[in-house]
Structure 1
Amino acid sequence: MSVDVRLVRDLVATIDDREPLVVVIGDCILDRWTVGEAERVSREAPAPVVRVTETIAVPGGAANTAVNARALGARVRMVGLIGDDEAGDVLRERLETAGVDTSFLVEITGARTTTKSRVVGGDRVVVRVDDLAGTPTAEHNERLARAVARAIRCADAAVVCDYGLGVRAEDVVPVLDRDRPGAIVVDAHDLPRWASLRPDLVTPNAGEAAALLGRDLGTGADRVAAVVDARADVLARTGARAAVVTLDRDGTVLLERGSDEGYRTRAVPASEQQASGAGDTFCAAASVALAVDASVRDAVSVAQAAADVVVREAGTSVCSAAALLASVTAPAATVVDHDELAVAVERARQDGRRVVFTNGCFDVVHRGHTTYLRQARDLGDLLVVALNDDDSVRRLKGPERPINPAEDRAGVLAALACVDLVTVFATDTPIPLIERLRPEVYVKGGDYSPEMLRETAVVRGYGGEVVMVDYVPEHSTTAVVRRIREAAAASAGSTVPAAATTATAAATDPEGTPDGKVIPQ
Structure 2
Amino acid sequence: MRIVVVGDVLLDADLSGGAGRLSPDAPVPVVDVDVVQRRAGGAGLVARILQADGHEAVLVTVLADDEASGLLRAELDGITVVAGPSGAPTPVKTRVRASGQAVVRFDEGCATPPVPEATDAMLAALDGADAIIAADYGRGVLANEALRARLEVLAGTTPVVWDPHPSGAPPVPGVAAVTPNLGEALRFADVQGTGTRAAAAAADVLLAAWGSRAVIVTMGDHGALVAAPGLLPQVVPAPRVDAPDPCGAGDRFASALAVGLAQGAAIDAAAQQATEAAAYFLASGGVGAMARQDEDVPQQLPVDGLDALTVARRTREAGGTVVATGGCFDLLHAGHARTLAAARRLGDCLIVCLNSDESVRGLKGESRPIIKQEDRAELLSALGCVDAVLVFSESTPENAIARLQPDIWVKGGDYAAEDLPEAALMSSWGGRTVTVPYIPARSTTKLAAALARVG
Q: Under a length normalisation based on structure 1, what TM-score does the superposition of the two structures give? A: 0.59
DSSP 3-state at the match of 1:267: coil
Aligned AA for 2:99? G
Q: C-alpha separation between the residues in 2 aligned to 1:71 and 1:325?
A: 13
Whether contact under 8 Å (1:276, 1:317) holds in the other structure is no
CA shift in 2, pair 1:418/1:105, >3 Å: farther
Q: C-alpha separation between the residues in 2 aligned to 1:134 and 1:410?
A: 52
The alignment of Structure 1 onto Structure 2 pairs a total of residues equal to 362
Confirm or deny that 1:174 pairs with 2:149.
Answer: yes
1:107 aligns to what?
85
Mapping for residues 159-308 of structure 1, pairs under 5 Å = 159-169=133-143, 171=145, 172-180=147-155, 182-190=158-166, 193-218=169-194, 223-272=195-244, 274-308=245-279
Q: C-alpha separation between the residues in 1 aligned to 2:315 and 2:290?
A: 28
CA shift in 2, pair 1:131/1:385, >3 Å: closer
DSSP 3-state at the match of 1:266: coil
- Which residue of 342, 360, 364 corresponds with 2:331? 364
Whether contact under 8 Å (1:161, 1:188) holds in the other structure is yes
Deviation of 1:49 (Å): 0.3
Deviation of 1:164 (Å): 1.4
CA shift in 2, pair 1:42/1:108, >3 Å: same
Aligned AA for 1:237? A
Structure 1, unmatched stretches of 5+, are 1-19, 349-361, 369-381, 387-403, 428-476, 488-521
Q: C-alpha separation between the residues in 1 aligned to 2:43 and 2:189?
A: 25
Mapping for residues 420-439 of structure 1, pairs under 5 Å = 420-421=387-388, 426=412
Q: Per chain length, whose mean CA-contact separation is higher, i.e. which structure has more relative contact order (CA < 8 Å, sep 6+)?
A: 1
1:48 aligns to what?
29
Deviation of 1:214 (Å): 1.8
Aligned AA for 1:59? A
CA shift in 2, pair 1:108/1:236, >3 Å: closer
Aligned AA for 1:485? R
1:118 aligns to what?
95
Deviation of 1:199 (Å): 1.5
Confirm or deny that 1:414 pairs with 2:377.
Answer: yes
Deviation of 1:424 (Å): 6.8
Question: 1:37-77 deviations in whole A, cap 9, x for unaligned?
Answer: 11111122222100010111110111101111122122122
Q: C-alpha separation between the residues in 2 aligned to 1:80 and 1:332?
A: 35
DSSP 3-state at the match of 1:125: strand
- Percent identical pairs in the alignment equals 29
CA shift in 2, pair 1:123/1:136, >3 Å: closer
CA shift in 2, pair 1:347/1:235, >3 Å: farther
Q: C-alpha separation between the residues in 2 aligned to 1:153 and 1:277?
A: 27
2:425 aligns to what?
none
Whether contact under 8 Å (2:249, 2:286) holds in the other structure is no
Q: C-alpha separation between the residues in 2 aligned to 1:179 and 1:314?
A: 31
Q: C-alpha separation between the residues in 2 aligned to 1:224 and 1:255?
A: 12
Whether contact under 8 Å (1:116, 1:130) holds in the other structure is yes
- Which residue of 27, 38, 47 corresponds with 2:8? 27
Q: C-alpha separation between the residues in 2 aligned to 1:235 and 1:324?
A: 41
Whether contact under 8 Å (1:58, 1:316) holds in the other structure is no
CA shift in 2, pair 1:365/1:41, >3 Å: same
Mapping for residues 4-153 of structure 1, pairs under 5 Å = 20-95=1-76, 97=77, 99-102=78-81, 104-108=82-86, 111-133=88-110, 135-137=112-114, 140-141=116-117, 143=118, 146-153=120-127
Q: Could you say which structure has the larger radius of gyration?
A: 1
CA shift in 2, pair 1:135/1:333, >3 Å: closer
Aligned AA for 1:250? H
DSSP 3-state at the match of 1:92: helix
CA shift in 2, pair 1:278/1:318, >3 Å: farther
Deviation of 1:91 (Å): 1.1
Whether contact under 8 Å (1:187, 1:203) holds in the other structure is yes
Aligned AA for 1:265? P
Question: 1:294-349 deviations in whole A, cap 9, x for unaligned?
Answer: 322332222223322332326555499xx999543448849x9xxx799589889x
DSSP 3-state at the match of 1:176: helix
CA shift in 2, pair 1:330/1:195, >3 Å: same
Q: C-alpha separation between the residues in 2 aligned to 1:331 and 1:163?
A: 31
Q: CA RMSD in A?
A: 4.3
Q: C-alpha separation between the residues in 1 aligned to 2:92 and 2:314?
A: 41
